[in-house]
Amino acid sequence: MKLIVILFLSSRLLPSLAQESSEEIDCNDEDVFKAVDAALKKYNNQNQSGNQFVLYRVTKVTKMATPDAFYSLKYQIKEGDCPVQSGKTWQDCDYNEAAGAATGECTAIVGKRLNTNFSVNKQTCHITPAEGPVVTEQYQCVGCVHPISIQSPELKPILRHAIEHFNNNTNHPYLFAVGEVKKAQSQVVAGWNFEITYSIVQTNCSKENLLFLTPDCKSLLNGDTGECRDSAFVNPQQRIASFSQQCDLYPAEDFVPPPIKICPGCPTDIPANSPELEEALKHSIAKFNAENNETFYFKIDSVQKATVQVVAGQKFSILFKARETTCSKETNQELTESCETKKNGRILSCDAEVYVIPWAKQVYPTVNCQSPEMTTLLRRPPGFSPFRSVRVVETGEGTIRHLRPCEYTGRPQKAGAEPASESEVS
């Protein structure tokens, strides 16, 4: 069966004090495919048994345009029909159509220095069996080895024993914790045999200070990782009578995300309760009250966002909400601290730009306020690219134009391959 790969690419701007440029990435961007390819190959290479996983679709891509390209990826995978020991790449595999085929979702951070290959800095994958836990009654051979749910409570004491065994019998200076259980099997004998495959992650707790893991031990984002395959025999008294373990450690990637550059003249965020804002807000609401035709004064209700920029003085950009007060302009010459906001008073959404020149003691505010119902915010659904193709259908009643999500079918392109033809675009 022909492999169908659907790529939904959605890129967003990364907030940055340095005003780093970001870009919307087109669906057939070759570098996106290379980044995902590097991440998926690394995940498949860490598995010692079972089948390889194959790319199903990319749901999120964020790229920061720096001299060293930097991608944040989220993608979905499905179990393929190629064993991990087959020597094939995931592009050569088809989806496994068996009812028990697993699926998964991965998040990864992938970087590429100039003139080098893509490097996977961090990756986490969550694997889910297609039909959930498999019950023992489905197997006619009661004494045979059969898979069990990776969430089974039977595994907890074994995993606790396993990680203690690993930490006590390795020379690594830091304690490790269990990461993700990937596979579990059991067999009924005069007791129970268990086989478990799981990942381990380095924590911030050193063996010099602690002998055992505690709740304060947290996984390190850029620490060493590994994979363990354990065999355990639990006797009828529910005790671990025998145990064996084989673990492989993977040193952390030597990749550092690009540093945020400092831009002295660029806007920088400041807290909503910053004392710096007091004078700018005071002049903003005073200007609004002086220029509108409202019967009652308005008062600052809350500040949503504020930035400051060093120019010939300071330029404040502020988003805030103003609420109607009980003080009318007929009986009050100005807005005072004693003016209370009405419980059901009108609320306005405002944006202001305020130039402050301290040495000249001059303030120049510009304010624009409007009712929230006048503002319509269109949101793009997650997982869809802003680049959409248009399908034109000729009917007896005229021409109909259909917008479609950016969606590709056919085998995923390998590096350097020609783009998919129009006949392959759904």
Last residue of a domain, which of 263, 279, 314? 263
390 domain-assigned? no
Residue 223 included in any domain: yes
* Cβ 178 vs Cβ 198: under 8 Å: yes
Domain with residue 232: its CATH number is 3.10.450.10
Does 321 reside within a domain? yes
CA distance 229 to 46: 12
Confidence class for position 67, pLDDT limits 50, 70, 90: low
Domain that holds residue 295: 268-374
- More confident of the two residues 312 and 204: 204
Q: What is the mean pLDDT of residues 215-243?
A: 88
d(CA 68, CA 113): 5
**Are residues 308 and 185 located together in one domain of the fold?**
no
Residues 274 and 312 in one domain: yes
Do 231 and 294 have their domain in common? no
State the pLDDT at residue 137.
39
Question: Quick check: is 309 in a domain?
Answer: yes
pLDDT in tens, 149-204: 888 888 999 999 999 999 999 999 999 999 999 988 888 877 789 999 999 999 99
pLDDT over 70 (residue 320): yes
What DSSP assignment string belongs to 291-305? HS--SEEEEEEEEEE
Confidence at residue 115, expressed as pLDDT on a 0 to 100 scale: 64
Model confidence at 63, pLDDT cuts 50, 70, 90, reads confident
Structural domains of the chain, count: 3
17 with 117, same domain: the answer is yes
In a domain, 386, yes or no: no
Residues 16 and 38 in one domain: yes
DSSP 8-state secondary structure symbol assigned to residue 165? H
pLDDT at 419 over 60: no
Residues 263-295 pLDDT 10s: 667 888 888 888 888 889 999 999 999 988 888
Q: What is the mean pLDDT of the chain?
A: 76
| Co-location of 53 and 85 in the same domain | yes
Within this chain, do residues 10 and 47 fall inside the same structural domain, yes or no?
yes
Residue 385 lies in a domain: no
